[in-house]
Amino acid sequence: MSGLVKRYGSKTAVDGLDLVLDHGTVLALLGPNGAGKTTTVEVCEGFRTADGGTVRVLGLDPRRQGEQLRPRIGVMPQGGGGYPGVRPDEMLRLVAACAADPLDPAWLLEVLGLTGAVRTPYKRLSGGQQQRLSLACALVGRPELVFLDEPTAGMDPQARRLVWDLVGALRADGVSVLLTTHLMDEAEALADQVVIVDAGRVVARGTPSELTAHPADDQQLRFRARPGLDTDLLREALPEGMDVHEASRGAYVVRGRIDPQVVSTVTSWCAQQGVLAEELTVAKRSLEDVFLELTGRELRS
Ligand SMILES: Nc1ncnc2c1ncn2[C@@H]1O[C@H](COP(=O)(O)OP(=O)(O)OP(=O)(O)O)[C@@H](O)[C@H]1O
């Protein structure tokens, strides 16, 4: 996809978005409410027409070649989408009947922990069960590419883990996954590539570790030791320009370019002082820190 633009009246929801999802990888679209994630996904699925840019999904134009594309993709929309009275097994069998070589619906219901609820009308399922059924519908046709729009929203931790494991299994089977999420740990756990969008534009992209890495000359080494170490003395032992301070009682932070030599200097300096440097880590920013830094802290409408 390149230069995708989508407007709703005077509102520009997506404003020149470029995305590439490599075969067999997981890409997470991360962004605050209203950033344009669902709109982007819906254009890829062929549900919405782009106002500008080029979109190709599995080499096809999702709008004009939708009939060829649909059997090859799986779609898990935001918020379920089942008829109130339909039962999970009926719904899944119906979707499976449209596929050339579907997975066994009974097996899939079991994998997703829905066997006990197969006769429960859709509207009586819990939010998490509706989500899992929606995921089953997305997967039953053995898609090459799956769109998951906030797949674990409203799920309990067990169900989230299950979905994470499933996404990992899909990836291992060579299935490509485009997911949207607000959950940083989800993006960090699942995605090969993370694209952070805000107001319809890409504000950052990279692997989770690229995004969370500190710039090379502003890294942090943290360790714990007895309170009151002479940090001026340690600073003298380190290369010029590095900062050392006791951030809180017994918690020390060394800032600057952290290379193996610096780590060695810190531990041997501690040894000379007769103290053991504990919990020594080269700190990373969390994806949430990066996200808030890029998209601001104010609440979105
Ligand atoms: N059918 C529509 N008509 C008018 N405006 C819309 C429509 N759908 C979405 N929008 C607007 O477009 C913008 C992007 O919405 P979108 O649902 O794509 O964002 P999102 O990133 O998925 O948000 P969320 O995280 O809250 O699901 C929002 O400002 C939204 O209000």
**pLDDT tens column, 62-96:** 999 999 999 999 999 887 677 888 999 999 999 99
Ligand 1, closest atom to CA 180? 22
Tokens of 227: 């309170």
Ligand 1, closest atom to CA 35? 21
Ligand 1, closest atom to CA 42? 18
Please enumerate in sequence order all residues whose Cβ is within 8 A of that of 249, keeping only pairs 6 or more positions apart, or say none: 227
Strand partners of residue 57: 60
Count of C-beta atoms within a 10 Å radius of residue 179: 25
Torsion of CA 39, 41, 45, 51, to 10 degrees: 40
CA distance 255 to 242: 6
User: What global pTM score does this model have?
Assistant: 0.83
Q: Which amino acid, one-letter code, is at 137?
A: C
Question: Where along the chain do the CATH 3.40.50.300 domains lie?
Answer: 2-212
Give the end-to-end CA distance of the chain in Å, rounded to a whole number: 27
39 Cα to the center of ligand 1, angstroms: 6
129 Cα to the center of ligand 1, angstroms: 25
Task: State the sign of the Cα–Cα–Cα–Cα dihedral 48, 54, 60, 61.
Answer: positive
Half-sphere exposure in the Cβ direction for 117 (13 Å, CA): 23
Contact 167, 24 (CB under 8 A): no
The CATH architecture that domain 2-212 belongs to is 3-Layer(aba) Sandwich (3.40)
DSSP class per residue in 168-211? HHHHHTT-EEEEEES-HHHHHHH-SEEEEEETTEEEEEE-HHHH
pLDDT band (50, 70, 90) for residue 210: confident
Task: State the sign of the Cα–Cα–Cα–Cα dihedral 129, 130, 135, 140.
Answer: positive
Please give all residues whose beta carbon lies within 6 A of any atom in ligand 1, as ranges: 8, 11, 13, 31, 33-39
CA distance 37 to 265: 46
Ligand 1, closest atom to CA 39? 18
Ligand 1, closest atom to CA 40? 18
Contact 48, 13 (CB under 8 A): no
- Tokens 């494991």, residue? 165
Ligand 1, closest atom to CA 36? 18
The CATH architecture that domain 219-283 belongs to is 2-Layer Sandwich (3.30)
Pocket test for ligand 1, best of 4, 5, 6, 8 (most atoms within 8 A of CB): 8
In this predicted model, what pLDDT tens digit does every residue of 269-294 receive, in sequence order?
Answer: 999 999 999 999 987 777 887 888 88
More confident position, 260 or 298:
260
pLDDT at residue 183, rounded to an integer? 86
**Measuring from atom 3 of ligand 1, which residue has the nearest CA?**
8
For residue 266, report the phi and psi dihedrals to the nearest 5 degrees.
-65, -45
55 Cα to the center of ligand 1, angstroms: 19
Contact 254, 266 (CB under 8 A): yes
pLDDT at residue 300, rounded to an integer? 65
In this predicted model, what pLDDT tens digit does every residue of 139-183 receive, in sequence order?
Answer: 999 999 999 999 998 889 999 999 999 999 999 999 999 999 988
- Tokens 């060394």, residue? 254
Question: Where along the chain do the CATH 3.30.70 domains lie?
Answer: 219-283
Pocket test for ligand 1, best of 5, 6, 11, 12 (most atoms within 8 A of CB): 11
The residue among 212, 219, 207 whose CA lies nearest residue 288 is 212
Report which DSSP code applies to 122.
G
**Measuring from atom 6 of ligand 1, which residue has the nearest CA?**
8
Task: State the sign of the Cα–Cα–Cα–Cα dihedral 156, 161, 162, 168.
Answer: positive
